[in-house]
Amino acid sequence: MASRTLAAAALLFAAPAFAADAAHPTVIELFQSQGCSSCPPANANVNALSQRADVLALSFAVTYWDQLGWKDSFATPQFTQRQWDYAKAFGNDQVWTPQVVINGRANIVGTRREPLEALIARTDRGNGGPVVDFGDAGVSVRGATTRPADVWLVRYDPRSVAVAIKAGENTGRTLPHRNIVHQLVRIGVWNGGAANFAVPVAHDAALASAVLIQAGSGGPIIAAARRG
């Protein structure tokens, strides 16, 4: 599928949002593929933003480029479905790469740094809202919500990983990846108040963990936290 250029980012979900510091990071989700020639600039932008303490940047590799000459080494159908969930929520009739979704509330192509950072600023979630804490036995969430929210556990690689591309649109390039998501698990539904959620045992100690509190499929992210 050809990459799609948007004239402007789409803002949805006028409901109050909450985040904007290291304890309540802004969630940036990049949907990309190693087979997409338009993705490296967006990868570079999101890789740079991942260094900010107030940002939780997550890179989701999608599958629909795999049949065009190069199979992405990190892609899964689940991540493609997550992008489709956002497409339905935003009223988009298709998915494309590279797409950046901010706090589950806005989307943009992400190849240009200035518009991306401007949209991040406009989608800032503040510093209130539900409180999410990692503990020895799992994750606790407390606060209020107007609707049930999914509790997602994300495991991602915080290291910079270089992948040599041997076919497809990026043939001959070595692409740096950071914060590549390896696992996305819904560990429960939060209905407000105080609740605890068990966290599955990690099978790879090199992966970092984060939790997203999201108001439904493709809905706004109302809280987020990372371990440590």
For residue 60, the domain's CATH number is: 3.40.30.10
Q: Across residues 170-176, what is the average pLDDT?
A: 96
Residue 168 lies in a domain: yes
Percent of residues, the chain, with pLDDT higher than 90: 81
Residue 7 lies in a domain: no
* H runs (alpha helix) in the chain: 39-49, 77-90, 113-122
Strands in 106-108's sheet, in edge-to-edge order, are 10-11, 106-108, 99-102, 26-32, 55-61, 174-190, 149-164, 208-214, 221-226
Nearest C-alpha neighbor of 221 from the set 45, 5, 12:
12
How many domains would you assign to the chain? 1
Residue 1 lies in a domain: no
Q: What is the pLDDT of residue 6?
A: 39
Residue ranges making up the domain that contains 43: 17-226
Q: Is the pLDDT at 174 greater than 60, yes or no?
A: yes
Q: Is the pLDDT at 165 greater than 60, yes or no?
A: yes
Distance CA 200, CA 182 (A): 14
Q: Across residues 25-54, what is the average pLDDT?
A: 96
User: What pTM was estimated for this model as a whole?
Assistant: 0.90
Residue 4 lies in a domain: no
Q: What is the pLDDT of residue 16?
A: 43
Nearest C-alpha neighbor of 82 from the set 223, 218, 226:
218
Q: Is the pLDDT at 49 greater than 80, yes or no?
A: yes
Residue 118 lies in a domain: yes
Residue 22 lies in a domain: yes
Q: Across residues 63-89, what is the average pLDDT?
A: 96
Residue 5 lies in a domain: no
Residue 204 lies in a domain: yes
Per the prediction, the chain carries an average pLDDT of 90
Q: Across residues 101-125, what is the average pLDDT?
A: 93
CB 19 within 8 A of CB 126: yes
Q: What is the pLDDT of residue 5?
A: 37
